[in-house]
């Protein structure tokens, strides 16, 4: 099963994702579009498309993804975004990777931009806890065994677009799966195209949101006593600081702004989540 969450982006959905679903639908894979739009343009676009099921949910990507999980019983649940173009056989390749790797709870792939350049990501391989979950796959090209959700629970609805902390729901779930003993298989065989349409300032805000969600995710796990997560967070912060330093030296101002936006968001996510939690009861 493939689930895609969309909100007020019928144009992107109609231009990019829907035309690339033909092979998945022809192979009999169910597709669920979970709509959070304020108007009915998305509903009118997808209603009546054979094999595409329409759902609505309240705002929040985690809430919508959870609605799709609950509405189905397929053993594999894949996720993508409305501004992605899938390649033929994408879902079949995902199913094949799960079949070939019975201990895999997560399968993820690469992303390329509209011009064919690769988005940042890890090398193809099999990863286990305590691997750093940040950068391990993309939320628009990822799939889970249903058994993962049955074991560790659904997506954290405080994380992700439309939630108090604007991202991190995917890396949080990947981390929880690895910590429970599942492996993560990353493969170049399931590369998809993620189209560029945001302005430079919108990209900066997006990376600030990435940091915010990452910080909240870290704070939640650390508050639960997970010291490994704090070590991984420090490594991730160091990676972004190094990239920022290189961008400063080489004069790549846009890359520098993105890294600083992430780091600022990370700090805000850590402090905001901690302040939002009720104080511990002392005996």
List average pLDDT for each run of 10 residues in the chain, which is 283 residues long.
95 94 92 96 92 94 96 96 94 96 97 90 93 91 98 96 92 97 96 88 92 94 93 94 96 95 95 68 32
| CB contact burial 165-192 (16+ within 10 A = b; e otherwise) | bbbbbbbbbbbbbbbeebbbbbbeebbb
What is the bridge-based pairing of β-strands 183-194 and 125-127?
antiparallel
Does 213 fall in a domain?
A: yes
Q: Are residues 155 and 211 in the same domain?
A: no
Residue 125 and residue 229 in contact, taking contact as beta carbons nearer than 8 Å: no
* Residues whose CB falls within 8 Å of the CB of residue 48, separated by 6 or more in sequence, listed in order: none
The residue range of the domain holding 265 is: 200-276
Q: Which of 172, 194, 216 is the last residue of a domain?
A: 194
Has residue 282 been placed in a domain? no
Same-domain check for residues 132 and 251:
no
CA 150/CA 134 separation, integer angstroms: 23
Query: 210 and 107 in one domain?
Result: no
**Is residue 156 domain-shared with residue 104, that is, in the same domain?**
yes
Last residue of a domain, one of 131, 162, 194: 194
CA 271 to chain CA mean position, Å: 23
Q: What pLDDT is attached to residue 283?
A: 28
144 and 19 in a single domain? The answer is yes
């Amino acid at each position: 099963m493939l689930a895609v969450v969309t909100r007020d982006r019928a144009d992107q959905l109609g231009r990019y994702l829907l035309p690339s679903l033909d092979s998945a639908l022809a192979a009999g894979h169910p597709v669920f579009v979970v709509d959070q739009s304020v108007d009915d343009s998305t509903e009118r676009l997808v209603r009546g498309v054979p094999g595409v099921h329409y759902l609505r949910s309240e705002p929040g990507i985690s809430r919508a993804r959870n609605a799709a999980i609950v509405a189905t019983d397929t053993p594999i649940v894949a996720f993508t975004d409305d501004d992605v173009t899938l390649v033929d056989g994408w879902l079949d390749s995902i199913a094949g990777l799960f079949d070939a790797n019975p201990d895999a709870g997560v399968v993820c792939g690469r992303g390329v931009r509209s011009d064919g350049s690769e988005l940042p990501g890890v090398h193809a391989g099999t990863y286990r806890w305590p691997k750093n979950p940040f950068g391990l796959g993309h939320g628009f090209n990822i799939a889970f065994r249903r058994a993962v959700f049955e074991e560790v629970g659904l997506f954290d609805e405080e994380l992700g677009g439309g939630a108090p902390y604007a991202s991190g729901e995917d890396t949080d779930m990947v981390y929880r799966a690895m910590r429970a003993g599942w492996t993560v298989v990353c493969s170049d065989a399931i590369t998809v195209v993620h189209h560029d349409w945001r302005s430079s300032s919108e990209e900066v805000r997006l990376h600030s949101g990435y940091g915010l969600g990452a910080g909240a995710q870290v704070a939640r796990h650390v508050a639960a006593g997970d010291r490994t997560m704090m070590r991984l967070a420090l490594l991730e912060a160091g990676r972004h600081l190094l990239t920022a330093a290189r961008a400063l030296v080489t004069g790549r101002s846009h890359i520098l702004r993105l890294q600083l936006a992430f780091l600022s968001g990370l700090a805000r996510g850590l402090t905001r989540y901690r302040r939002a939690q009720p104080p511990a009861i002392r005996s």
